[in-house]
Amino acid sequence: MSRKILVLNGPNLNLLGTREPETYGSQTLDELLAEITRHGEKQQVEITGFQSNSEGDLIDALHEARTWAAGVVFNAGAYTHTSVALGDAITAAQLPVVEVHMSNVAARETFRHTSYIAPVCLGTITGFGATGYLLAVDALVRNVIDAAK
Protein backbone atom coordinates (compact mmCIF):
# COMPACT_ATOMS: atom_id res chain seq x y z
CA MET A 1 0.00 0.00 0.00
CA SER A 2 1.26 3.50 -0.81
CA ARG A 3 1.97 5.99 1.98
CA LYS A 4 0.17 8.73 0.07
CA ILE A 5 -2.86 10.67 1.28
CA LEU A 6 -5.06 13.05 -0.68
CA VAL A 7 -6.26 16.05 1.33
CA LEU A 8 -9.35 17.15 -0.54
CA ASN A 9 -11.10 20.44 0.16
CA GLY A 10 -14.40 21.52 -1.29
CA PRO A 11 -16.20 24.79 -1.96
CA ASN A 12 -15.12 28.06 -0.36
CA LEU A 13 -12.20 26.49 1.47
CA ASN A 14 -9.87 28.29 -0.96
CA LEU A 15 -10.86 31.40 1.03
CA LEU A 16 -9.57 30.07 4.36
CA GLY A 17 -7.86 32.84 6.27
CA THR A 18 -10.24 35.54 5.13
CA ARG A 19 -13.54 33.63 5.20
CA GLU A 20 -15.36 33.99 8.56
CA PRO A 21 -12.09 33.76 10.56
CA GLU A 22 -14.08 33.54 13.82
CA THR A 23 -15.38 30.18 12.55
CA TYR A 24 -12.57 28.89 10.34
CA GLY A 25 -9.45 30.54 11.79
CA SER A 26 -6.86 32.81 10.23
CA GLN A 27 -4.68 30.21 8.51
CA THR A 28 -4.77 30.17 4.69
CA LEU A 29 -5.32 26.92 2.80
CA ASP A 30 -1.67 26.96 1.65
CA GLU A 31 -0.48 27.39 5.25
CA LEU A 32 -2.80 24.61 6.39
CA LEU A 33 -1.53 22.26 3.67
CA ALA A 34 2.07 23.05 4.63
CA GLU A 35 1.28 22.12 8.23
CA ILE A 36 -0.44 18.88 7.18
CA THR A 37 2.51 18.05 4.90
CA ARG A 38 5.00 18.54 7.77
CA HIS A 39 2.80 16.38 9.99
CA GLY A 40 2.71 13.67 7.31
CA GLU A 41 6.49 13.75 6.84
CA LYS A 42 6.98 12.81 10.49
CA GLN A 43 5.16 9.58 9.67
CA GLN A 44 6.72 9.06 6.24
CA VAL A 45 3.45 9.94 4.59
CA GLU A 46 3.22 12.04 1.44
CA ILE A 47 0.41 14.59 1.36
CA THR A 48 -1.16 15.87 -1.86
CA GLY A 49 -3.63 18.72 -1.58
CA PHE A 50 -6.46 19.51 -3.98
CA GLN A 51 -9.24 22.07 -3.65
CA SER A 52 -12.18 22.76 -5.92
CA ASN A 53 -15.38 24.70 -5.76
CA SER A 54 -16.95 22.29 -8.28
CA GLU A 55 -18.71 19.09 -7.29
CA GLY A 56 -17.64 17.32 -10.52
CA ASP A 57 -13.97 18.11 -9.97
CA LEU A 58 -14.17 16.69 -6.44
CA ILE A 59 -15.78 13.53 -7.83
CA ASP A 60 -13.03 13.23 -10.46
CA ALA A 61 -10.36 13.70 -7.78
CA LEU A 62 -11.88 10.86 -5.71
CA HIS A 63 -11.98 8.57 -8.76
CA GLU A 64 -8.39 9.39 -9.66
CA ALA A 65 -7.17 8.96 -6.07
CA ARG A 66 -8.15 5.34 -6.34
CA THR A 67 -5.10 4.77 -8.54
CA TRP A 68 -2.51 6.16 -6.13
CA ALA A 69 -3.76 7.10 -2.65
CA ALA A 70 -4.00 4.94 0.45
CA GLY A 71 -6.75 7.20 1.77
CA VAL A 72 -8.40 10.59 1.63
CA VAL A 73 -8.96 13.36 4.16
CA PHE A 74 -12.04 15.18 2.90
CA ASN A 75 -13.64 18.45 3.89
CA ALA A 76 -16.50 18.64 1.41
CA GLY A 77 -17.69 22.03 2.73
CA ALA A 78 -21.36 22.68 2.04
CA TYR A 79 -21.55 19.77 -0.44
CA THR A 80 -21.42 17.57 2.66
CA HIS A 81 -25.01 18.52 3.33
CA THR A 82 -26.33 18.27 -0.22
CA SER A 83 -24.39 15.87 -2.38
CA VAL A 84 -25.61 12.35 -3.01
CA ALA A 85 -23.08 12.27 -5.87
CA LEU A 86 -20.08 12.76 -3.56
CA GLY A 87 -21.33 9.97 -1.30
CA ASP A 88 -21.66 7.71 -4.34
CA ALA A 89 -18.18 8.71 -5.54
CA ILE A 90 -16.65 7.66 -2.22
CA THR A 91 -18.44 4.31 -2.46
CA ALA A 92 -17.36 3.89 -6.08
CA ALA A 93 -13.73 4.79 -5.36
CA GLN A 94 -13.57 2.15 -2.61
CA LEU A 95 -11.08 4.30 -0.73
CA PRO A 96 -10.95 4.93 3.01
CA VAL A 97 -12.08 8.51 3.55
CA VAL A 98 -12.05 10.53 6.78
CA GLU A 99 -14.58 13.36 6.81
CA VAL A 100 -13.30 16.59 8.37
CA HIS A 101 -15.02 19.83 9.34
CA MET A 102 -13.17 22.70 10.94
CA SER A 103 -16.23 23.97 12.76
CA ASN A 104 -18.42 21.82 15.00
CA VAL A 105 -21.22 21.26 12.51
CA ALA A 106 -23.41 19.65 15.19
CA ALA A 107 -23.45 22.97 17.05
CA ARG A 108 -24.51 24.99 14.00
CA GLU A 109 -27.65 25.31 11.84
CA THR A 110 -29.73 22.14 11.52
CA PHE A 111 -29.05 21.85 7.77
CA ARG A 112 -25.41 21.23 8.70
CA HIS A 113 -26.38 18.25 10.86
CA THR A 114 -26.98 16.08 7.79
CA SER A 115 -24.01 14.56 5.96
CA TYR A 116 -24.40 12.60 2.75
CA ILE A 117 -20.82 11.42 3.00
CA ALA A 118 -20.61 10.37 6.69
CA PRO A 119 -22.23 6.95 6.13
CA VAL A 120 -19.59 6.01 3.56
CA CYS A 121 -16.60 7.46 5.44
CA LEU A 122 -14.41 5.66 7.97
CA GLY A 123 -15.30 8.35 10.48
CA THR A 124 -15.81 12.06 11.01
CA ILE A 125 -13.73 14.67 12.84
CA THR A 126 -15.53 17.94 13.46
CA GLY A 127 -14.94 21.05 15.53
CA PHE A 128 -11.17 21.08 16.03
CA GLY A 129 -10.18 23.56 13.32
CA ALA A 130 -6.90 22.79 11.55
CA THR A 131 -6.12 20.09 14.14
CA GLY A 132 -8.91 17.99 12.63
CA TYR A 133 -6.89 17.48 9.44
CA LEU A 134 -3.87 16.28 11.45
CA LEU A 135 -6.05 13.90 13.45
CA ALA A 136 -7.53 12.58 10.20
CA VAL A 137 -4.04 11.87 8.81
CA ASP A 138 -3.19 10.05 12.05
CA ALA A 139 -6.38 7.99 11.78
CA LEU A 140 -5.50 6.92 8.22
CA VAL A 141 -1.91 6.10 9.17
CA ARG A 142 -2.85 4.05 12.23
CA ASN A 143 -6.09 2.42 11.10
CA VAL A 144 -5.38 1.92 7.39
CA ILE A 145 -1.74 2.29 6.29
CA ASP A 146 0.09 0.79 9.27
CA ALA A 147 -2.73 -1.65 9.96
CA ALA A 148 -2.07 -3.23 6.54
CA LYS A 149 1.57 -4.02 7.36
Residues with a catalytic annotation lie at 24, 101
Q: Which is nearer to ligand DQA, 80 or 83 (CB)?
A: 80
Q: Which of 103, 121, 125, 134 binds ligand DQA (CB under 6 A)?
A: 103
- Which strands, in side-by-side order, build the sheet including 71-75? 46-51, 4-9, 71-75, 97-101, 123-126
136 touches ligand DQA by CB under 6 A? no
Q: Which is nearer to ligand DQA, 14 or 37 (CB)?
A: 14
Q: CA–CA separation, 38 vs 35, rounded Å?
A: 5
Instruction: For the segment 11-30, give every residue that binds ligand DQA (CB under 6 A).
Output: 12
How many chain residues bind ligand DQA (CB under 6 A)? Answer: 10
112 touches ligand DQA by CB under 6 A? yes
Shortest separation between residue 99's beta carbon and ligand DQA, angstroms? 9
33: left (phi over 0), alpha (psi -120 to 50) or beta: alpha
Closest CA to 100 of 13, 30, 20: 13
Rounded to the nearest angstrom, the gap between the alpha carbon of residue 77 and the centroid of all alpha carbons in its chain is 9
